[in-house]
Amino acid sequence: MSLPIVLITGQLLTDAVWQPLLDAWGDREVIVADNRSDDTIEGFAQRLLDEAPPKFILIAHAMGGFVAFEVMRRAPGRVAKLALISTLASADGPAQTARRQGYIDLVEKGQFDQVVEERIPILFPEEKRGDARLLGIARQMAADTGADTFLAQQRAIMARIDSRPRLGEIAVPTLLIWGEKDGITSRAHHDEILDAIPGARLEVVAGAGHLPTVEAPEVVLPLLTEFVDQ
């Protein structure tokens, strides 16, 4: 019997980012963790653990990766396998903090709708920024998230700790997936995780940006299916 799968995603993102997986994995026990109800990474992680089965496979995307690292610190024995997509282990540096403060400023000026427009150039490669389907998904996820939840997520992200010192303690099979044209996380971010977690492997998705599950499901879905089944 296959283990349950828990999915946790990031800021301004909803279940829609997992839709290709949810459609394909209809015969599996798949739980989408809550990324809306807390304003600390620790709170998100504890809520995930409180609501998850005793043992599960964890697949985390973006801010969800920050939550996943906290889950691994709190309850490493409950996670059988770990997949990390488009994430990083370090805390924010000055450039990231300044960008996030810019988003907060927009929201406080009543310009929440502008936040997603500001993010499009870092979410998607240049050649995809005219793709009506992808832009529609990004804008709808932002609208469904809303300004208040966005600000809570932002507070959580800005206050997160540096997870790098304890990556070496992760002792479960770990898969990293990164879109080679991601404008938020870099190859260096993923190499840092890859080098620190024993036995981890990295798969690079050609031509994809920050949302490879919806940009290239034909690549990501088989990778994740093989990983959870092997």
CB atoms within 10 A of CB 218: 8
User: Which domains, ranges and CATH numbers included, belong to the chain?
Assistant: 5-92+154-229 (3.40.50.1820)
pLDDT of residue 201: 98
d(CA 146, CA 113): 9
Could you count the other beta carbons within 10 Å of the beta carbon of residue 49?
17
Q: What are phi and psi of 109, to 5 degrees?
A: -90, 5
Q: Enter the DSSP assignment of 93.
A: -
**What's the pLDDT score for residue 1?**
61
pTM for the predicted model, two decimal places: 0.96
How far is Cα 191 from Cα 229, in angstroms, rounded to an integer?
Answer: 25
3-state secondary structure 144-175: HHCHHHHHHHHHHHHCCCCCHHHHHHCCCCEE
Q: What is the C-alpha to C-alpha distance for residues 200 and 68, in angstroms, rounded to an integer?
A: 15
pLDDT value at residue 222: 98
Check residue 92 and report its DSSP letter: P
Beta bridge partners of 59: 7, 83
Low-confidence ranges of the chain (pLDDT < 70): 1
- Supply the pLDDT for residue 96: 85
pLDDT of residue 41: 98
Smallest Cα–Cα separation from 66: which of 215, 230, 189, 191? 189
Q: Closest by alpha carbon to 1, among 57, 67, 73? A: 57
Render pLDDT for 25-35 as a digit per residue (tens, 0 to 9): 999 999 999 99
